[in-house]
Chains A and B, each alone.
Chain A
Amino acid sequence: GAVVSQHPSWVICKSGTSVKIECRSLDFQATTMFWYRQFPKQSLMLMATSNEGSKATYEQGVEKDKFLINHASLTLSTLTVTSAHPEDSSFYICSANKPGADTQYFGPGTRLTVL
């Protein structure tokens, strides 16, 4: 099956700093990737759709200036949490479309803790 990786798997940072999370499709090219946020014991909430070579599409209520998404290649999308605060602590998960497949492939997630 298709493989999607995320790096780092967990990160702890100080309030006010920025954190970059990478999402890679390892064995296929993905023109579209998705970023989700999952709070403890809750469901995944779609944050944005990342399109290779163009601007990301953000869901209502998601601050685009705070959650910067860059999809610079067909195998890599990055999410940067700028000026992170404790309320940004969460589990961030990406997924990618594999061409020809009718489902998404999910990364293992990145746990962000902001102190």
Chain B
Amino acid sequence: GNSVTQMEGPVTLSEEAFLTINCTYTATGYPSLFWYVQYPGEGLQLLLKATKADDKGSNKGFEATYRKETTSFHLEKGSVQVSDSAVYFCALSTGGFKTIFGAGTRLFVKA
């Protein structure tokens, strides 16, 4: 079945550090891939997405590239801020919008 695996957290970084959160997936067919962010006390928000191989999703300085050959969709940001502290979920969706989420990675950014 379809599944998403992402690196365990928490990840603790200093402000302006480089961020990578690894995500790999298993899916039949050609899924769309997403990163969602959940800030403390809030619901999920779509951060970025990619719908086909080699697409790069980007938003708010974050980016991720859909790599079919390695079945990966790693999230990166060149310089994190304290306000980026949140839980990040990698997810995939096949036809019908049924979405499978990874376990989530909690990010703490220190000033």
| CB-based contact A102/B44 at 8 Å | no
| Chain A residues within 8 Å of chain B by Cβ, number | 18
Interface members, chain B 50-108 (any A CB < 8 Å): 51, 89, 93, 96-104, 106
Binds B, one of A39-47, A66-74, A77-85: A39-47
Interface of A (DSSP majority class): strand
| Chain B residues within 8 Å of chain A by Cβ, number | 22
Give complex CA distance A103, B96 in Å. 10
Contacts of A97 in B (CB 8 A): 97
Contacts of B93 in A (CB 8 A): 103-104
| CB-based contact A41/B32 at 8 Å | no
Q: Which of A43, A46, A93 contacts B43 (CB 8 A)?
A: A93
Q: Closest Cβ of chain A: how far from B73's Cβ, in Å?
A: 14
Chain A interface residues toward B at CB < 8 A: 32, 34, 41-44, 46, 49, 93, 95, 97, 102-104, 106-109
